[in-house]
Amino acid sequence: MSVSQNDFSKGSMPRSILSMALPMTVAQLINILYNIVDRMYLGRLPGHLALTGLGLCLPIISIVMGFANLCGTGGAPLCSIHRGKGEQEEAERIMGNAFTLLVCFGVALTVLGLLFRRPILYLFGASDATFPYADDYLTIYLCGTVFVMIGLGMNPFINAQGFGRMGMLTVALGAVVNIVLDPIFIFALDMGVRGAALATIISQGCSAAWVLGFLNGKRAILRLRLSALRLESGRVKRILSLGTSGLVVNLTNSLVQVLCNASLQVYGGDLYVGVMTVVNSVREVISMPVSGITSGCQPVLGYNYGARQYSRVRQGVRFTAAVTMVYSVAVWAATMLFPEQLIRIFNNEADLIAAGIPAFRIYFAVFFCMSFQFIGQSVFVALGRAKNAIFFSLLRKAFIVAPLTLIFPALGMGVTGVYLAEPVSNVVGGLACILTMYMVVYRPLGRLEDQLDR
């Protein structure tokens, strides 16, 4: 019955996409609460050093999430394609190999992170004043890396089977636990940043347990079987090849955060590093619905592509692009009109608000153009086009934002130059990605559709 209910090759494409996208959007928003709630609570502590210290950990957290995405976004679309072809056993083996990879990566990242956290944090922009806060948070967070890898990396395999609401509940469980535990650990037990980190890893552990319970239960179409856990080189190569784009996104995000923090430390000091922490927090929140919509279309597009329903794939691309653009323009307008109110969610200090308002207006100047990147990238991943996905993951952040983050301040723009790099990359990188997707995917699918009709 589950296989029939989750056959995306039948019925309305917009309805199928929304059935996945809406719960995944909610899940994406809830997922942000893991770190956003920490920042909101820590921003209420005296001064801004605790918030800034947490901001210094964000690039490392992004790296951990990148390795989870390497396996999740690499394996889940392949599962969708094989489901569309009716190859259930191969889909299960891909999922099992992804799980083994996640555990291995989680253990390795934990060991390396704990060994080298001090030099890494100073390299990423820590000062003697902010290092103790960053070190307290990161040491505890790294101890829960395996939980993060399993919860975040295996949840896409629930969504790939068509259980969008169940995937949402995975994230919701962890978020609720985090929200409840944060004020207890941070304020009631006076643990500060250590309490925020402890609440986060406990909540991630709950999400990981939920995922494993579902994938080993009776409702799952694809189950996590012991026989599928043994790594096979061909499957590993396919998972890592397609998932590299997800890893690159997180690694380049981490690189840009490091460069931004380091440049802001030089040209502005700890205050401006704190401003960037707030900017990143707001960006994560407002971009999550876009990520949820485009992620929600992937199982549907991949399934129909595997089933050779090319007209439905094109219809799904058009629908996803339209919804994404409408949302992006609306949220861009709100960000431009109400920057102070958004900053106050995280911190009420007058100096941070004064520095943050102009930073917001520069950084988010053409935010709606970033949706082009999300649309093109999601289509490449959904259809298994690894090379295109990897290239455009690198283009916007590594080839445009990172160099400009160093060049603009050196030209005399100071902190303004750091913020200006983002809107330039949104326009150039976003347009390049969506136009390439149109030329190499959307139009060729139309020709394949014509061939099938003959």
Q: What is the residue-level pLDDT of the chain in tens, covering all 454 positions?
A: 344 456 677 888 988 888 888 887 777 677 666 667 766 777 666 666 777 777 788 888 888 988 998 999 889 989 988 988 888 999 999 999 999 999 999 999 999 999 999 999 888 777 888 889 899 999 999 999 999 999 989 998 998 888 878 888 888 888 889 889 988 998 889 888 898 899 989 999 999 999 999 999 988 889 999 999 999 999 999 999 888 877 887 788 778 878 888 888 889 888 888 888 888 888 888 888 888 888 888 888 988 988 889 999 999 999 999 999 999 999 999 999 999 998 888 778 888 899 999 999 999 999 999 889 989 988 998 888 878 887 887 888 889 998 999 999 999 999 999 999 999 999 999 999 999 999 999 999 988 887 776 6
Q: What's the Cα-to-Cα distance from 367 to each of 95, 163, 185, 209, 446, rounded to whole Å?
A: 35, 31, 36, 36, 30
Which residues fall within 8 angstroms of residue 158, CB to CB, at 6 or more apart? 166, 167, 170, 211, 214, 215, 220
In the block, residue with structure tokens 């992804």: 98
- Closest to 178 measured CA to CA, from 218, 211, 205, 146: 205
Report the pLDDT value the prediction gives residue 1, as an integer from 0 to 100: 37
Name the amino acid, one letter, at 8.
F
Cβ neighbours around 318 below 10 Å, total: 13
User: How far separated are the first and last CA of the chain, in Å rounded?
Assistant: 34
How far is residue 215's CA from residue 222's CA, in Å, rounded to a whole number? 7
Radius of gyration of the chain from Cα atoms? 21
pLDDT for residue 12: 87
For residue 343, the surrounding DSSP H or E stretch is: helix 339-344
Instruction: State the amino acid at position 359 in one-letter form.
Output: A
- The span from the CA of 354 to the CA of 306, in Å, is 53
Per-residue confidence (pLDDT) for residue 430, from 0 to 100: 92
Q: How far is CA 214 from CA 5, 208, 259, in A?
A: 17, 10, 40
Instruction: Give dist(CA 63, CA 365) in Å, integer.
Output: 27
- Tell me the average pLDDT of the chain: 87
Interhelix angle 270-306/145-160, rounded to 10 degrees, is 30
Cα separation values, 20 from 114, 171, 392, 405, Å: 37, 15, 25, 36
pLDDT at 26: 78
State residue 2's pLDDT score.
42
pTM for the model? 0.71
Beta carbons within 8 Å of 254's beta carbon, 6+ residues apart: 58, 59, 60, 62, 63, 66
Residue 44's pLDDT is 67
For 344, other C-beta atoms within 10 Å of its C-beta total 16
Angle among Cα 113, 115, 117 to the nearest 5 degrees reads 55
Tokens 């030329």 belong to: 439
The pLDDT value given to residue 179: 85
Q: Whole-angstrom Cα distance, residue 145 to residue 8?
A: 34
Question: Coil, strand, or helix at residue 309?
Answer: coil
